[in-house]
């Protein structure tokens, strides 16, 4: 046998496992050595956790299978776990798909987590039924959660569709009946994007939430509807654009855009060409308008008298 055709001793140990010879200690040493040396996981795995140089540790109560024909390692649970740095992935089953690299080694290009998936890192916990990590794009797609949920500090994002993590952009995207909630405030839309920053303690926290299509914001005092919204989480300020409608009690005001302080409840509604209205509309209070003579750009408000509400 030529030297280049001789199997690596560590690969040979794994190969024996794939053929039905299972030795937990030999397998663990072989797998972790391969991971640490980069022979298998040359690309690494960075799900908002450690850098590419950090190894991935895999633990599986049900054992680990190596399917050479499909080029996949399968770690079975319950509680199969993959860890890299401060990122932990738990699931009923983990599947690591690999390919031949130009260097002559092999590299992981995809990791699947199936069943009761839980992804944790400092400041964030995400849960769902199935996750796929695309190593080349550094993107994780989490779905089948009923609903899928992301918790970051006081902020909770849920969706009936899927949740995407774009690692290099510090971004999460929730698609399909998405909601973001914090205490008594809730934002609903077809698509929500959450932009993350690192806090003082190194934990991820949401700085900005953008909402697209069929946007609705609910607070204790009002409901606001629009086509799009951008919510600055630390300041509580939200900018809404496109077919804006503010409803508070029995009062309703319409415009093209609005600026709302979700902490104080103060709203400023803007017309299409810059004319604006400001003031509270709850409990029979009156509001003032400054409308443009052009009817197409005017703000329209319906303020119900206090006596009529009784």
Task: Give 19-78 pLDDT, tens digit per residue.
Answer: 333 334 334 434 444 443 333 332 222 333 333 445 667 788 888 888 889 998 889 877
Q: At what angle do helices 24-37 and 9-18 cross, to 10 degrees?
A: 130
Reduced to 3 states (helix: H, G, I; strand: E, B; else coil), residue 30 is helix
Q: Does domain 1-129 have CATH number 2.60.450?
A: yes
Q: In this predicted model, what pLDDT tens digit does every residue of 234-278 receive, in sequence order? A: 999 999 999 899 998 888 888 889 999 988 888 888 877 644 444
- Poorest-confidence range of 35-49, 74-88, 187-201? 35-49
Whether the model pTM is above 0.75: no
How confident is the model at residue 19, as a pLDDT? 33
The secondary structure element, H or E, covering residue 162 is: strand 162-166
Average pLDDT of the segment spanning 211-226: 92
State what percent of residues in the chain have pLDDT above 70. Answer: 69
How confident is the model at residue 307, as a pLDDT? 53
CA dihedral of residues 309, 185, 190, 147 (deg, nearest 10)? -120
DSSP of 257-276: EEEEETTT--EEEE-TTS-E
What is the residue extent of each domain of the chain? 1-129, 220-310
Reduced to 3 states (helix: H, G, I; strand: E, B; else coil), residue 136 is coil
DSSP of 198-253: E-TTS-EEEEEEEEEEEEEEE-SS-EEEEEEEEEETTTTEEEEEEEEEEEETTEEE
């Amino acid at each position: 046998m030529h030297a280049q055709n001789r199997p690596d001793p560590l690969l040979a140990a794994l190969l024996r496992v794939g053929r039905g010879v299972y030795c937990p200690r030999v397998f663990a040493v072989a797998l972790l050595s391969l991971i640490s040396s980069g022979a298998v996981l040359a690309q690494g795995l960075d799900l908002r956790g450690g850098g590419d140089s950090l190894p991935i540790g895999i633990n599986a109560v049900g054992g680990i299978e190596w399917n050479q024909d499909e080029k996949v390692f399968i770690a079975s649970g319950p509680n199969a776990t993959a860890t890299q740095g401060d990122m932990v992935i738990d699931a009923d089953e983990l599947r690591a798909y690999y390919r031949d690299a130009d260097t002559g080694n092999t590299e992981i290009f995809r990791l699947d987590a199936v069943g009761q998936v839980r992804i944790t890192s400092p400041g964030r916990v995400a849960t769902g039924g199935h996750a796929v990590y695309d190593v080349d794009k550094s993107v994780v797609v989490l779905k089948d959660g009923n609903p899928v949920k992301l918790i970051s500090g006081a902020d909770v994002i849920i969706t009936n569709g899927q949740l995407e993590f774009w690692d290099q952009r510090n971004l999460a995207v929730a698609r399909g009946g998405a909601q973001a909630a914090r205490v008594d405030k809730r934002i609903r839309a077809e698509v929500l994007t959450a932009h993350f920053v690192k806090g003082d303690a190194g934990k991820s926290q949401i700085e900005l939430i953008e909402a697209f299509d069929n946007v609705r914001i609910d607070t204790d005092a009002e409901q606001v509807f629009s086509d799009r919204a951008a919510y600055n989480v630390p300041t509580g300020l939200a900018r809404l654009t496109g077919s804006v409608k503010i409803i508070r009690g029995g009062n309703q005001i319409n415009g093209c855009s609005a600026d709302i302080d979700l902490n104080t409840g103060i709203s400023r509604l803007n017309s299409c060409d810059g004319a604006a209205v400001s003031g509270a509309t709850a409990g029979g209070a009156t509001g003032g308008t400054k409308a443009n003579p052009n009817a197409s750009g005017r703000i329209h408000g319906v303020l119900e008298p206090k006596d009529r509400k009784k």
